[in-house]
Amino acid sequence: MKWRRFNGQRIEQDIKEKVRETLEYEHSLGHKLKVCIGSDSQVKGGIAEFATVIVFVREKKGGFMFISNDTVSQRMSLKERMILEVAKSVEIAYALCDLLDEFEVELEVHADINTDPHFESNTALKEAMGYILGMGFVFKAKPDAFASSSCADKMV
């Protein structure tokens, strides 16, 4: 996966190395962090575009994020796409969890899935929740899933 900052600046190094460097820097400034990981997607012309974000939230001092975009050209149902969004988030969370534990940084995985059964995305809620919780991560869905429903949504 290729990563960039919000301003478009490419992150050339491995994402795990960049996250370590970021955590070291933020801790040297005395910031208490929480990391929220989320993904969102949109279908445009038969191609699903995905955005995955790693959001660093500084306690009472704002935040910033790293972004990765990719596309999938195979047709899939909404439920399949929601589960693929979750899989992308879980993949990154799994890659970073030991590092975040080392720095005692809280981790949440956010799913762009509505908890209201009147919304179509709700069909994937049970599977997504089971997947994320089964991996041992804190799970957040709409309206509390800002990393996916706000941050990643703006990057697709």
8 A C-beta contact, residue 4 and residue 18: no
pLDDT of residue 121: 87
Per-residue model confidence (pLDDT) at position 65:
98
**From start to end of the chain, where are the E strands?**
3-5, 10-11, 33-44, 47-58, 63-72, 106-114, 138-142
CA distance 39 to 95: 15
Where do the DSSP E strands lie in 26-114? 33-44, 47-58, 63-72, 106-114
pLDDT for residue 149: 94
Q: How far apart are CA 93 and CA 31, in angstroms?
A: 21
pTM, entire model: 0.95
77-124 tens-digit pLDDT:
999 999 999 999 999 999 999 999 999 999 999 999 999 988 888 889
Q: Which tens digits make up the pLDDT trace of 6-52?
A: 999 999 999 999 999 999 999 999 999 999 999 999 999 889 999 99
Sketch the domain layout of the chain as residue ranges.
3-155
Could you give the CA distance from residue 104 to residue 129 in angstroms, rounded to a whole number? Answer: 24
Q: Which residues are registered as beta bridge partners of 68?
A: 52
